[in-house]
Amino acid sequence: MLSLLLALSTAAVLTMGAWAPLFRHAWPRALALSGSVAWGVVLYRGGLPWLMRRLERRSLSQRRAWLGAVSLLALLLLVAAPIHVLMPAEPFALTLRATGERNPQSQGSEVWVLGLLDAHGTLLSPKGWRPEGNWERRNGDVWLSHLDQPALLHWEARTRGSLVLQLLTHDHSGIIEYTVKGRTERIDLYSPPGTDTRRDVVIPDPVALFRGDAALQNGLVLAAHALVLATLLLMAGLWLTGREARVSEPVSPRRAGLLAPIPSVVVAGVWLLAVYPGMLSPDSTSQWRDALSGHMDDAHPLFHTVSIRMLQKLWESPAVVALAQIAGLGALVGWGCASLARAGVSRGVIVLTSVLFAVAPVNATMAVTLWKDIPFSFCVLALSVLVFRSATDPTLRWGWQFWAGVIVLGAMAMLFRHNGLPAVVGTFLALGLLRRARYKAVALALVAAVVVTAGTRSLLSRTYTIKPFPKGMTLVGFLGAHVAAGTPLAPEERALLEELHPLDDKWNYRCFSNVYTIWDGRFDMAALIRHNDALLPLLIRLTRRDAGPVLSHVLCSSSVLWKLSQGGDLINGPPIWVEPDGRMGTIEPGEKKLRTTSLLPALREPLLRWTLRTLRPDLAWLLWRPALPFYLLLLACAVACIRHRTWRLAAVALPAVLHTAALAALIPSPDVRYQYPVFLVALMFVPAWLAGTRLEASPAAEAPPRSPSAPQEAPALRSAV
């Protein structure tokens, strides 16, 4: 009976859920149904009996724990990966109106319509568009209105659920109106020079979701997803944690450390030659100019800007920063793989780790981009490797070299990013949990790292001219949430908020990013500086009146960290700009002194186009969204801990977990770079943990010093493959 239920649930998952577009036609649907029946037979004959035998080996309390854990995890993953149920297609009409009006800051009234996506993120056919007035069709799928406005553009077709309208915003954009089911919304598309971007407008279909038959279908499909997902998680968890480990041939740490970085360095080097002198966003070019002039802006961590200034003494080109980052990436990959080899991880897993670092698009692009997040992420990975070595090597002594390394790396992490403290605290907390007898030394080392950080900042602030960063900038998104939600305002509060940004457009608020409010040309930065100290008390007062807007804002802004499915959500990857004429650039548009002069022009366009292709929703969830590596890190860590019957390895994930938790509260925009540390830590440890390693020693305290004649102890971890 259970096998039949799982077979039917699998068929529902394939034909009515996220995979439904692949099974729209008759023969794929028949293939899915026959495959589901075969899957049911396999489960009945082998899968479920195997599962029952595995569960029977455990006590009743352990079985309950397993079933409860996988059920909870399945429900959480359903929230993290929203399921788009395939509803019956219904007529849908959308009307766009290029009004001819514009923002006072705009240089034109252009309206660029890039396309329309369905609920799965698939681009709908452009044949559904019908222009009325002067609209030009560009590059086959793009519509432009810039003359003889107003002009109407209609789209009519049968569709299911919500749609996502994609528009282009730039400094020549005007105002557009769209009408659905008699309701009209107005959008100002102006974006200041150098901040051109795509704007995604979600157009919900409120009718189909709340009909009785639709609610029943939704419930059945979600239940099918939960059952299939929980079963797969249970089977995978029992198999991974129950595998018998075998000792593999030892791998030379020195050899692993020398060979493992080569693929990553080569790939990143090719990228640098293709996009020479590197990839620079508006933040990057601003910081590059600060480093050249010596007049610093505290919006960029001072230590990072000074580091760039020191590199400029060697070569006044952004390529020198990229070369330093490529060298740092190579060194960390080598050191991390050498640590894996020292722990007993097999040759195949180390090779896989090396290859994954090289082929992950996030690594090559980040290595050639001038961002403070890159050296910060390297520091977090280095700290995680130190924790891993402490967790797996009972012979590792915490001598002065170890303490010096931890303190310096911790200080650098806090100096490279303003929010570096949580990851550093996670590191020292992990070390304290691993060797509780040394908690006083760990606490003193944390204090030393903080003192070094404060002293370095003080020294640099006395050396250079610094423009202070208004801390109230981090509160703009929360205040915008209250403005957009209509939280009651006292007259003096309304006056203050009006001074910061006019309230007539609700602060141009977007829950996932504060960029639209701060850089829409109407935000008064001088007023922000004047009222900087008053913003936090104002936010507290508004939140005490109504906490709903803040909670909704945090849930939305942090979704890039926990939401697997992208759908129509915006995600900011590497700095690549596409001009309306199709040309692509990797340096901020409008930058006059820095120019891209590719040394491999034949590869530049294919690499950039391939990268943009991976940023589409159907691939971005796998290659760019930070949620997947974060969940894989947690799941692989749990598997390793259960296999070893110890939670020591969980300490390795603590820096990344605390960094993510702190970032979730204050993340300003959906930028991949903020979670680059999680990508690095996951790439380093997930393959080894999932492959299966066995902890042979559980050091409760630091090992005593070995005499020169003492034999070399066996590695603490042995691979299962």
Distance (Å, rounded) from C-alpha 428 to C-alpha 421? 11
| Assigned token pair, 107 | 């240089």
Distance (Å, rounded) from C-alpha 643 to C-alpha 158? 51
| Assigned token pair, 713 | 């102890």
Nearest alpha carbon to residue 521 among 99, 194, 202: 194
The answer to whether the beta carbons of residues 251 and 347 sit under 8 Å apart is yes
DSSP code at position 125 = P
Element (H, E) at 131: strand 129-132
- The predicted pLDDT at position 540 comes to 96
| Assigned token pair, 254 | 């020195």
The answer to whether the beta carbons of residues 340 and 350 sit under 8 Å apart is yes
- The predicted pLDDT at position 371 comes to 96
The answer to whether the beta carbons of residues 672 and 618 sit under 8 Å apart is no
Query: Residue 515 CA to chain centroid, in angstroms?
Result: 17
| Assigned token pair, 432 | 């304290």
The answer to whether the beta carbons of residues 145 and 100 sit under 8 Å apart is no
Give the DSSP per-residue string, 320-368.
HHHHHHHHHHHHHHHHHHHHHHHTT--HHHHHHHHHHHHH-HHHHHHHT
- The predicted pLDDT at position 274 comes to 95
The answer to whether the beta carbons of residues 116 and 155 sit under 8 Å apart is yes
End-to-end CA distance of the chain: give it in Å, rounded: 36
- The predicted pLDDT at position 91 comes to 77
Largest CA distance in the chain: 89
Distance (Å, rounded) from C-alpha 484 to C-alpha 320? 44
The answer to whether the beta carbons of residues 411 and 453 sit under 8 Å apart is yes
Residue 592, CB half-sphere, CA atoms under 13 Å: how many? 0
Per-residue pLDDT tens for 561-604?
Answer: 998 876 656 788 999 988 767 788 899 877 778 888 899 999 99
Determine the Cα angle at 266 with ends 263 and 267, to 5°: 85
The answer to whether the beta carbons of residues 370 and 318 sit under 8 Å apart is yes
Distance (Å, rounded) from C-alpha 354 to C-alpha 360? 10
Q: What pTM value is reported for the model?
A: 0.82
Residues of the chain whose pLDDT is less than 70?
Answer: 1, 14-25, 82-89, 119-121, 160-161, 194-196, 205-215, 217, 244-248, 566-569, 580, 692-721
Per-residue pLDDT tens for 476-514?
Answer: 999 999 999 999 999 999 999 999 998 888 888 888 888
- The predicted pLDDT at position 701 comes to 40
How is the chain split into domains, by residue range? 2-85+211-242, 90-210, 253-467+599-663+674-693, 471-557
Distance (Å, rounded) from C-alpha 143 to C-alpha 132? 12
Q: Whose structure tokens read 């102890």?
A: 713
Nearest alpha carbon to residue 275 among 588, 604, 584: 604
| Assigned token pair, 566 | 């992208």
- The predicted pLDDT at position 310 comes to 96
- For helices 439-463 and 302-314, what crossing angle results, to 10°? 60
Nearest alpha carbon to residue 386 among 371, 414, 408, 416: 408
The answer to whether the beta carbons of residues 523 and 483 sit under 8 Å apart is no
Element (H, E) at 113: strand 111-117
Distance (Å, rounded) from C-alpha 85 to C-alpha 119? 9
The answer to whether the beta carbons of residues 272 and 323 sit under 8 Å apart is yes
The answer to whether the beta carbons of residues 415 and 456 sit under 8 Å apart is yes
Residue 509, CB half-sphere, CA atoms under 13 Å: how many? 25
Compute CA distances 426 → 76, 421, 453, 643, whole Å. 24, 9, 17, 24
The answer to whether the beta carbons of residues 561 and 569 sit under 8 Å apart is no
- The predicted pLDDT at position 698 comes to 43
